[in-house]
Amino acid sequence: MPRSTSLSPRPRSSATREALYQAGLRRFASDGWRTARIRDIVGDAGQGNDSAINYHFGGRMGLLEDVLLRGVLRMEDERRADLQRWASSAPSSAQSAPDLAEIVRAVVSPLADLLDDDEGRCTLRVIAQVGALAEVDRTLTDRPVAGTALQDQLEMLVSAATARCGRDLAGHRVRQLIVMLTAELAARACDPPDAAPPHREYVADLVDWLAGGLARPAPA
């Protein structure tokens, strides 16, 4: 059964904090979260004190965590709806999981939907910068994934892939999926909004490609 989550972003009641968040998101997307200059973020937000980032977010890492957490929670309702649908459609006598391709679709589609607006596209460009650092076991137990529907989906994905190629190789392949998926969506986020192929075809092809890689048996 899907787990419930009590995760929520840190309070964002302050207009100053939100301005800093939006400026930081865009600077992290364009300049890199490690190399974006705090003074540029503060200036873009119309503030004059570099310590504002420390005051509102606890520093660069706190701002990055907020960007990632807001992105994950933006997708939570869609992901949880898939989990609920799978749970309600499974036979009561045998809680069979959806097939691997369906789980891949459920992982990919909410991320791809972030392409619909500027904030989402910037978020994808930031997510891709940390995707290359992904370790599947750690990703599943750390913020911002821990306790969310995405955690459930990734655990199901590892389990489904394990049936095809064994646990060790499955974990490696899901890590590859995270890295390639986030990098590809970040590249797509830099394309013009009307770039070919159309969004629906683009997502369907991406799902087929990733699912095919996970489904391959282990090398002999």
- 154/103 Cα distance (integer angstroms): 8
Per-residue pLDDT, 52: 94
Per-residue pLDDT, 145: 86
**Residue 173: which residues within 8 A CB-CB, separation 6 or more?**
161, 165, 213, 214
Q: Mean pLDDT in the chain? A: 88
pLDDT in tens, 103-144: 999 999 999 999 999 999 999 999 999 876 665 566 555 778
What percent of the chain stands above pLDDT 90? 73
Higher pLDDT, 19 or 93: 19
Contact present, 213 and 177 (Cβ < 8 Å): yes
Contact present, 150 and 7 (Cβ < 8 Å): no
pLDDT band (50, 70, 90) for residue 72: very high
Check if CATH label 3.30.1280.10 holds for domain 15-65: no
Which one, of 208, 214, 205, lies nearest residue 160 by Cα? Answer: 214
Per-residue pLDDT, 209: 95
Domain ranges of the chain: 15-65, 75-215
pLDDT surpassing 80 at residue 5 = no
pTM metric for this prediction: 0.87
Is the C-alpha dihedral spanning 49, 54, 60, 65 positive or negative? negative
